[in-house]
């Protein structure tokens, strides 16, 4: 896995949080999020009650937690905010669901949702109610790909949005078998067997 810019941490982090909620049937607390960030090779720089600062070579992550509302702000280590991302994790009382959403700070450059749909998990049945397109990033032949598994791809197909880029939201994806390229952001998407 590679992380060169905020979105490259935001997407795998949102996926790990989704998996955690589905598996344990509860919202992650700060301790679990710390563990997840460690798994993604981020180093802790500072820790206080409900607040933690992390970094890797290319990004900073700032974790802020209130009871039922957690945000993780991810910014480039250059301090540039134009590609910064915010992950929001909360219990939506109207939907009675847990939501994990990736919001670009600069919304002008992005169309739609990152990951196409936010993670929506029913708070009673713990079923996944949406079709988020999440995975992790790898490099191959000089290109950077979002790698997703086949079950994620199948759900993506059901939503009839496979021409939408899960990274930038543009309707610019062209597929060649199990690999797609986005003309707008330049990332690729690769579907792999689980």
CA distances from 108 to 71, 113, 184 (A): 21, 12, 14
Tokens of 140: 């191959």
Q: Tell me, residue by residue from 116 to 155, as one string, x for binding to Zn ion by CB under 5 A and - for no binding.
A: ----------------------------------------
Whichever of 133 and 165 has its CB closer to Zn ion, that residue is: 165
CA dihedral 74, 98, 38, 185 (to 10 degrees): -40
- State the Cα–Cα distance between residues 93 and 163, nearest whole angstrom: 32
167, 180, 189, 191: which one binds Zn ion (CB under 5 A): 167
- Closest contact distance (angstroms) between CB of 58 and Zn ion is 19
| Of the candidate residues 22, 36, 185, 192, the single one contacting Zn ion (CB under 5 A) | 185
165 binds Zn ion (CB under 5 A): yes
* Residue from 182, 188, 189, 191 binding Zn ion (CB under 5 A): 182
Backbone angles phi, psi at 11, to 5 degrees: -70, -50
Q: What distance in Å separates the CA atoms of residue 88 and residue 130, rounded to the nearest whole number?
A: 16
Report the residue number, 28 or 117, with the smaller CB distance to Zn ion.
Answer: 117
Please give the residue ranges that form the binding site for Zn ion (CB under 5 A).
165, 167-168, 170, 182, 184-185
């Amino acid at each position: 896995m590679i992380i060169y810019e905020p979105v490259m941490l935001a997407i795998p982090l949102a996926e790990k949080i989704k998996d955690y909620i589905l598996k344990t049937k509860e919202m992650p607390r700060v301790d679990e999020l710390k563990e997840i960030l460690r798994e993604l090779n981020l180093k802790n720089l500072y820790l206080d009650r409900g607040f933690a600062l992390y970094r890797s070579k290319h990004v900073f992550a700032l974790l802020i937690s209130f009871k039922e509302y957690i945000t993780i702000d991810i910014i480039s280590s250059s301090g540039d905010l134009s590609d910064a991302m915010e992950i929001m994790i909360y219990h939506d009382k109207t939907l009675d669901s847990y939501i994990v959403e990736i919001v670009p700070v600069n919304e002008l450059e992005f169309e739609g949702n990152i990951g196409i749909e936010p993670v929506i998990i029913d708070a009673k049945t713990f079923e996944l109610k949406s079709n988020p397109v999440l995975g992790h990033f790898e490099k191959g032949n000089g290109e950077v790909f979002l790698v997703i598994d086949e079950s994620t791809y199948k759900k993506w197909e059901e939503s009839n949005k496979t021409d939408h880029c899960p990274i930038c939201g543009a309707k610019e994806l062209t597929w060649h078998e199990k690999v797609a390229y986005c003309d707008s952001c330049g990332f690729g998407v690769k579907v792999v067997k689980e």
